[in-house]
Structure 1
Amino acid sequence: MPRELIDAARADGAGWLRTYAQIVMPVSRPVISAVTIFVFVGVWNNFLWPLLVVTDPEMMTLPVGLNSVQDVFGVPYAQLMASAVLAALPLLAVFLLFQRRIVEGIAGTGLK
């Protein structure tokens, strides 16, 4: 957040609440959106903690459930790959819906 924007708002007579609501939040919105999407993807792909903690198959995350898919005769690779594609579809949908915000959050400098 450029300090000059906040200083300009203060010079115009804006208080801290108005500066926050009308200057800081609109400029920070792309960054907050990108971080929110990255956190969603990280939680969606969480593997280690649910693997260690969860014992009930109803509570497993998708990566842990995919890891636990085994047959008496080994790993059914076709079913495992099909399940992995289905598990990745919500992430692909989130990326396609919020692609512009992700790019703005990463590439934005904070000045418009």
Structure 2
Amino acid sequence: MEQFASNLKKRAAELGISNSEAGRRAGLSERRYGNYIADRREPDLATVVRIAKVLQTTPDRLLSFGDETEAEPIAQQRIRAAIGVLSPDDLETVAIMVEALASKRHAGGG
């Protein structure tokens, strides 16, 4: 499962989050997630699915069974990954900010 460990580290880096943050978001202890990224242990299927969700990818991609290309730009993937840890109030603030930026861009202001 060396490729799985490598894919975990690579995907977290692509999203701009630390390995410990990825593990925390997946509800795993730092030690347990550390075992996966160090290729000392293999997670069960439910854990792979949970980690894939946090890393905004698929279990197939983490396990190197799928297509390596991502259809969605990395910035959107990073935003989608971060959304999972925001409160409803924080999400509302983010939505307002994104809408304001989009409106400004559409109006030719930037």
Is TM (by shorter chain) over 0.5?
A: no
Bigger helix share:
1
Name the TM-score, length of structure 2 as normaliser.
0.28
TM-score normalised by L of structure 1: 0.28
